[in-house]
């Protein structure tokens, strides 16, 4: 659902040590190698003639087939056989119906209905309902259907264990909290967030001496193929140094209203898997 994606993107962080990455920024295109340029396709494009990475503005109508229409960029294939930003639910078939923005009812893509959470008596019915544009219904551990803001904090999910875990938080002893690097096994030791402000995410790395996941202090050894992606587009691969290095210039992620969807998918991939 859309609120889960938005929640993941807007979770904030304050890092007191180690390395952090800003999810609201990306490396300036002119700094990038061809591979990193392609990775930042929402903002950059590789010019094969001049062999340099140039700035672009990703627009939906540049995609001419349904299979290439980028949902992660907030683009949706509509009844007019066009790839465009979201308009209204009636513009989509039941197969194209944008999840989290609309709902399929009787094989028709319809607007999400605003309903009172207290009127829902089953978990499935509750979790698919919204009680305002800024809040949704969620089944609690007390077996009641309660209202939650679309962008809750981990600390506010103590009564919602399933949502706590689905949102990338850590549930223990009846409480929900932000994850720490130390919570991760080796295969998941990559990226997390801690409470605070901004869009900062902590870089985690595996300490082979202690066999524990700790806050990383050196991102230079990240492999070339993962350098730009694992650092949320804040680092780039240096062909001269053969290292993953911090970008000297970071640009704001000025994307369409779908920016949170695209980045949310990326962060969910890192944090939840």
pLDDT of 249 higher than 70: yes
pLDDT of 212 higher than 90: yes
109 three-state secondary structure: strand
Number of CB atoms found within 10 A of residue 185's CB = 9
For residue 68, the Cα-to-chain-centroid distance in whole angstroms is: 20
d(CA 234, CA 249): 9
What is the reported pLDDT for 193? 62
What is the bridge-based pairing of β-strands 75-77 and 191-192? Answer: unpaired
What is the reported pLDDT for 139? 93
The most confident of 31-35, 146-150, 251-255, by mean pLDDT: 31-35
Task: Give the torsion sign (CA, 16, 18, 24, 30).
Answer: positive
d(CA 228, CA 101): 30
pLDDT of 37 higher than 80: yes
Give the pLDDT mean for 168-187: 90
Please answer whether residues 27 and 33 qualify as being in contact, where contact means their C-beta atoms are separated by less than 8 angstroms: no
Residue 107 backbone zone (phi > 0: left; psi -120 to 50: alpha; other: beta):
left
pLDDT digits (tens, 9 = 90+) for 39-54: 888 788 899 999 999 9
> Which contiguous run of DSSP H or E holds residue 245?
strand 243-246
The pLDDT mean for the chain works out to: 81
What is the bridge-based pairing of β-strands 108-111 and 130-132? Answer: unpaired
The angle formed by the CA atoms of residues 266, 271 and 273, to the nearest 5 degrees, is 90
Give the pLDDT mean for 159-187: 89
Closest alpha carbon to 41 in 22, 50, 23, 54? 54
pLDDT of 60 higher than 90: no
Give the pLDDT mean for 150-159: 84
pLDDT of 245 higher than 80: yes
What is the reported pLDDT for 138? 93
d(CA 135, CA 158): 17
Closest alpha carbon to 192 in 15, 25, 26? 15
For residue 82, the Cα-to-chain-centroid distance in whole angstroms is: 25
What is the reported pLDDT for 8? 37
């Amino acid at each position: 659902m859309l609120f889960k994606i938005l929640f993941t993107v807007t979770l904030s962080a304050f890092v007191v040590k180690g390395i952090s990455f800003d999810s609201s920024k990306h490396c300036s295109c002119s700094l990038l190698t061809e591979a990193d340029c392609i990775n930042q396709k929402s903002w950059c494009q590789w010019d094969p003639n001049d062999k340099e990475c140039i700035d672009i503005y990703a627009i939906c109508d540049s995609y001419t087939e349904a299979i290439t229409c980028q949902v992660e960029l907030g683009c949706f294939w509509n009844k007019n056989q066009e790839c465009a930003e979201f308009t209204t639910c009636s513009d989509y078939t039941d197969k194209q119906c944008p999840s989290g923005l609309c709902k399929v009812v009787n094989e028709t893509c319809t607007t999400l209905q605003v309903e009172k959470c207290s009127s829902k008596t089953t978990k499935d019915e509750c979790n698919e309902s919204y009680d305002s544009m800024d809040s949704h219904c969620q089944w609690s551990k007390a077996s009641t259907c309660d209202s939650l803001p679309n962008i809750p904090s981990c600390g506010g999910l103590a009564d919602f264990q399933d949502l706590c875990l689905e949102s990338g938080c850590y549930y223990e002893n009846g409480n929900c909290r932000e994850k720490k690097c130390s919570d991760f096994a080796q295969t998941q030791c990559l990226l997390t967030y801690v409470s605070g402000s901004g869009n900062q995410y902590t870089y985690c790395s595996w300490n082979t001496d202690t066999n524990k996941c700790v806050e990383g202090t050196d991102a230079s050894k990240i492999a070339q193929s993962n350098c730009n992606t694992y650092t949320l587009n804040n680092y780039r691969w240096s062909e001269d140094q053969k290292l993953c290095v911090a970008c000297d210039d970071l640009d704001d992620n000025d994307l369409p209203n779908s920016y949170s969807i695209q980045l949310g998918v990326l962060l969910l991939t890192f944090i939840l898997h």
